């Protein structure tokens, strides 16, 4: 069956290379965002997987609950303590963050932020409550809050096979030692994410050696930014439909006019002759 990719940078294709043999696998998605758009986990969900989605933003959390009923959807942030903390939302984007320094850079660039208080939970406490078996991959996309998330996880007890952390443009991160000290090996930087493999899973490292290609037998989902853009054509079709609706309304209005009734009556009279 053709693999339909939803992720923004081939992440799900790379993961599927390793995990295609796993039935009913389990993922943890920290900073899940939308259930489909640019989702790393959507393709796995469609293949019978389920997992935990951690997403504090209401406009994304609600669709997750609606479209991912088999998942565990948590409206909170992950951090290094179970506490209340300030969260900085950037409406309509995936840029919201719990990191104050990142939020200040957003403000300096002119972005509009909305501050709110959210619940912060450690990944360890979340796993203690919800994880029953292996975690096949852990994805982290938290806009500068990565170190706090990683410090809140007990990697001696829970060992995700693969961890991918969004690290746009910058492979070197000060928090990486947390993962390497926990026996994770950095394998790949794709320009957007860094992939780590647990040392006990290093026999899968070859799957990361080449980029996604036709051997992966994948297609992009409808509307994916790497496929032919559809918005332009959808807008054109919408304009044509609106034009047709206006023309139909004008015709109907004309049929109700005195002129139309007079012409119709005259045609009827002439027809009788």
- Residue 144's pLDDT band (cuts 50, 70, 90): confident
Does residue 66 have a pLDDT over 60?
Answer: yes
Element (H, E) at 193: strand 193-198
Q: Which of 120-129, 196-205, 213-222 has the lowest mean pLDDT?
A: 213-222
- Give per-residue pLDDT as tens, 17-43: 999 999 999 999 999 999 999 999 999
- CB 33, CB 90: distance < 8 Å: no
- Give per-residue pLDDT as tens, 96-124: 888 888 888 888 888 888 888 999 999 99
Per-residue pLDDT averaged across 139-147, rounded?
Answer: 93
- Residue 273's pLDDT band (cuts 50, 70, 90): low
CA pair distance 222, 106, nearest whole angstrom: 31
Nearest to 90 by CA among 114, 68, 66, 60: 114
Query: Looking at domain 3-220, does it have CATH number 3.40.50.150?
Result: yes
CA pair distance 178, 225, nearest whole angstrom: 34
DSSP lists the bridge partners of residue 86 as: 117
For strands 218-220 and 3-5, give the pairing: parallel
Nearest to 203 by CA among 179, 185, 178: 185
Q: Which pLDDT does position 262 carry in this prediction? A: 64
Structure tokens, 88: 């900085």
In the chain, where are the structural domains located?
A: 3-220, 231-272
Q: How many CB atoms lie within 10 A of CB 81?
A: 13
CA pair distance 102, 110, nearest whole angstrom: 13
Q: Where are the beta strands (DSSP E) in 48-135?
A: 50-54, 72-74, 77-78, 83-89, 114-121
Q: What angle separates helix 231-255 from helix 258-272, to the nearest 10 degrees?
A: 60
- Give per-residue pLDDT as tens, 211-260: 998 888 888 888 888 776 666 666 666 677 777 777 777 767 666 766 65
More confident residue, 91 or 190: 190
């Amino acid at each position: 069956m053709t693999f339909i990719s939803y992720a923004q940078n081939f992440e799900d294709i790379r993961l599927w290379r390793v995990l295609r043999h796993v039935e009913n696998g389990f993922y943890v998605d920290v900073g899940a965002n939308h259930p489909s758009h640019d989702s790393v986990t959507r393709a796995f969900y469609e293949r019978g997987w389920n997992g935990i989605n951690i997403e504090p933003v209401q406009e994304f959390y609600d669709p997750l609950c609606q479209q991912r009923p088999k998942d565990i959807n948590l409206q909170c942030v992950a951090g290094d303590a179970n506490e209340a903390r300030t969260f900085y939302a950037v409406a309509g984007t995936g840029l919201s963050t719990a990191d104050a320094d990142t939020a200040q850079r957003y403000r300096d660039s002119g972005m509009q932020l909305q501050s709110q208080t959210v619940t912060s939970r450690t990944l360890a406490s979340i796993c203690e409550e919800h994880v029953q078996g292996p975690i096949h991959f852990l994805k982290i996309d938290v806009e500068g809050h990565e170190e706090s998330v990683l410090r809140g996880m007990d990697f001696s007890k829970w060992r995700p096979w693969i961890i991918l952390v969004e690290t746009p443009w910058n492979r070197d991160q000060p928090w990486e030692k947390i993962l390497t000290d926990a026996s994770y090996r950095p394998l790949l930087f794709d320009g957007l994410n860094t992939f780590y493999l647990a040392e006990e899973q290093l026999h899968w490292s070859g799957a990361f050696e080449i980029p996604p290609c036709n051997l992966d037998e994948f297609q992009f989902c409808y509307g994916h930014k790497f496929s032919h853009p559809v918005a332009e054509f959808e807008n054109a079709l919408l304009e044509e439909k609106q034009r047709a609706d206006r023309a139909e309304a004008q015709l109907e209005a004309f049929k109700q006019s005195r002129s139309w009734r007079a012409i119709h009556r005259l045609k009827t009279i002439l027809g009788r002759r």
